[in-house]
Chains A and B, each alone.
Chain A
Amino acid sequence: MVEDEDEHEDDFGMKPVIKLEDLHKVYHTGEVDVHAVRGVSLEIQPGEFVAVMGASGSGKSTLMNIIGCLDRPTRGIYLLDDTDVSQLGRDELADIRNRKIGFVFQGFNLLSRTSALENVELPMLYVHRHLAGREQRESALRALEVVGLADRADHHPNQLSGGQQQRVAIARALVNHPALLLADEPTGNLDSQTSIEIMGVFQKLNDEGITIVMVTHELDIARYTKRTVVMRDGRIVTDARVANRLQAEQELQRLRAAQQAVNLQ
């Protein structure tokens, strides 16, 4: 992708969204100390789309928790959007999560028996400068429009398919206009076609300039991103641009064509 290379050149001089310097995380569980992350340094520029890969136990989940400000590093520096968040307290981390990070989870994590719209409104409840109810509603509807679900706003999660639920979750992640979208195995619970659709949503958002970091262990999913970081034993072992990046739109067209061919036979 020539475009990507150009973009990468342009990034010089811009401030990275994420800057990790020699990050360590040690868990004290019982008698053994678990050294989950051992000196990770990483920079992610605005507009990047990064897949973090690795086997279970490789430390990628721990790293994601730290990047997501759900956890604090034992050692090292973490600058998120130019703010040092490595030593903030619980409340400050909650505010950072609210303003700067949008989460997308493997299990969708929507509130059941709550409409899609209300789910999307959720992060706005915890904003410091609270919006009026009507403004909240409008923002939430706009976010649902972005993921193509505006017509399902009053459906409850159990009335939506997995892909639709994940779209609602993405809308929720976007609603506060975060600097970073963090996705933890977002396609883990979805079939392959829906997975591609979700990747399509991510690619579209990324094209609009949103920075995305995604944990996945599926190689073919990682091929929709722009950059892949592979971890092993708490360290980054590979950090490379994605060659032959897949475009979700094209893949979907190809899939549909193949299905039609099967149906015609």
Chain B
Amino acid sequence: MRRILATIKIALHALRRNKMRTVLTMLGMIIGVGAVIAMVSIGNGAKAQVEAQIASLGQNVILVFSGSITRGGVHTGWGSAGTLTLEDAESIQREIPGVTVISPEVRSSGQIAAGNENWFTQIIGESGDYFTIRQWPIVQGNPFSEQDVRGANKVAVIGQTIADQLYPGEDPIGQILRVKNAPFIIVGMLRPKGLNMFGQDQDDVVIIPYTSAMKRLLGVTTLRTINVQTASPGLLNSVQQQITDLLRQRHHITAGKDDDFTVRNQQEIADAATATSKVMTILLAAIASVSLLVGGIGIMNIMLVSVTERTREIGIRMAVGARARDVLLQFLTEAVTLSAIGGVIGIGLGIGTSKLLSVKMNWPTLTSPSSIVVAFFFSAAVGVFFGFYPARKASRLDPIDALRYE
């Protein structure tokens, strides 16, 4: 044990002797490990954000999108075809057990105004259950009621951004909001959600009863989306299948023909979204690993130079009784020390970089302790891997030749 400690001491001594070289060699590891940590943090941050986004869709949610239809081989996007009707929505609610609530959805964007202020925003028509489905609480006032929906009343729930833009310093509840020149009364304000993963402001929204939107604003009879909530997560798949069957039947789609709608449950959306960010994380980590590899090769290079330079020293050590193992351990320790210290500094650099990115550029980052531990041991392993060949070369030197080496 003492012998090992002494060997480590020798290795550290040798590293201190060549400070510049040591620092430059470490730099390779520092950058490599730092890049891996930072990239994995970015990837994990993105993943966490996507997961949070998906969770913000609500619980046990199934989304039914209208469209897509195909004309002459060209697919149009979801919601474009207007194939879903209110009757479709009502029959889903009525005929499929396990469905608790639904919210038919139409969307538009347009100019809104209050007093002298005006603003361009998203206008969404929903039922009052939308706020339950999306788990999006009203922080001020109330959501619109069943009554409002049935009567196509001109009431609106607004997001934080609208309140800030049109009613600065005022309480918006009860105020008049002109949506495309139709006056609506503001009944509630949503809890702020912030930006979504694409950087869009989710609070820049006006939500009104779908009936009001269809009749009074847009003059449409078809829906873009139907939000469906099931009683439990276990029902998602069977309800999804039942909705598909029901709508195919209602739309008279014969076997073998494509659906003119799309049903997605939340789990699918979550899987798809996190799969993307997982791939991104892996990709980022892989690219960063290349610099780690290059750092490792740098260590190997320097260790080979060092072994050649110190051939005589190796000879002297062997002459006074160092075994091959002692020499191997000495050089291996040097390599591992280089890579491990580089790794520790690199971890610091990586954490610092990801913190900086999240503060300065608003990128979501998440540095997990496991990635730090893995990075440290990986950097030590790089030292062992790339240090082994030079160290073995040193330990296999013949003491006579080594002593004579000039």
Query: Once bound together, how far apart are the Cα atoms of A127 and B3, in whole Å?
Result: 8
Contact of B320 with A by CB under 8 A: yes
Q: In chain A between 78 and 113, which residues have their CB closer than 8 angstroms to a CB of chain B? A: 90-91, 94-95, 97-99, 103, 105, 109-111, 113
Closest to B6 in A: A125
Total residues of chain B contacting the partner, CB 8 A: 24
Contact of B17 with A by CB under 8 A: yes
Residues of A within 8 A of B (CB): 65, 68, 70-71, 90-91, 94-95, 97-99, 103, 105, 109-111, 113-114, 122-123, 125-127, 130, 172, 176
* A91 pairs with B321, CB closer than 8 A: no
Query: Once bound together, how far apart are the Cα atoms of A116 and B318, in whole Å?
Result: 18
Contact of B319 with A by CB under 8 A: yes
| Chain A residues whose C-beta falls within 8 Å of the C-beta of B2 in the assembled complex | 130
Contact of B278 with A by CB under 8 A: no
Per-residue CB contact flags for chain B residues 29-61 toward chain A (1 = under 8 Å, else 0) read: 000000000000000000000000000000000
Offer 15 A-B interface pairs, CB within 8 angstroms, sorted by A.
A70-B399, A70-B403, A91-B324, A94-B324, A97-B320, A109-B312, A109-B319, A109-B403, A110-B316, A113-B17, A126-B3, A126-B323, A130-B3, A172-B320, A176-B321
B313, B322, B400: the one within 8 Å of A70 (CB):
B400
Contact of B215 with A by CB under 8 A: no
A68, A90, A122, A130: the one within 8 Å of B317 (CB):
A122
Chief secondary structure at chain B's binding surface: helix
| Chain B residues whose C-beta falls within 8 Å of the C-beta of A99 in the assembled complex | 321
Contact of B325 with A by CB under 8 A: yes
* B10 pairs with A125, CB closer than 8 A: yes
Query: Once bound together, how far apart are the Cα atoms of A156 and B317, in whole Å?
Result: 18
Residues of B within 8 A of A (CB): 2-3, 6-7, 10, 13, 17, 312-313, 315-326, 399-400, 403
B7, B315, B400: the one within 8 Å of A71 (CB):
B400
Closest to A62 in B: B400
| Chain A residues whose C-beta falls within 8 Å of the C-beta of B400 in the assembled complex | 65, 70-71
Known: A91-B325, A113-B17, A130-B6. A122 touches B403 (CB 8 A): no
Most buried by A among B13, B315, B316, B325: B316
| Chain A residues whose C-beta falls within 8 Å of the C-beta of B319 in the assembled complex | 68, 70, 97, 103, 109
Query: Once bound together, how far apart are the Cα atoms of A207 and B367, in whole Å?
Result: 71
CB of A110 to closest CB in B, whole Å: 8
* B403 pairs with A105, CB closer than 8 A: yes
A65, A111, A127, A130: the one within 8 Å of B321 (CB):
A127
Query: Once bound together, how far apart are the Cα atoms of A125 and B6, in whole Å?
Result: 7
* A126 pairs with B399, CB closer than 8 A: no
* A126 pairs with B325, CB closer than 8 A: no
CB of A255 to closest CB in B, whole Å: 32
B312, B313, B324: the one within 8 Å of A90 (CB):
B324
Closest to A110 in B: B316
| Chain B residues whose C-beta falls within 8 Å of the C-beta of A105 in the assembled complex | 403
B3, B7, B10, B322: the one within 8 Å of A94 (CB):
B322
| Chain A residues whose C-beta falls within 8 Å of the C-beta of B322 in the assembled complex | 94, 125-126
| Chain B residues whose C-beta falls within 8 Å of the C-beta of A113 in the assembled complex | 17
A65, A71, A90, A126: the one within 8 Å of B320 (CB):
A126
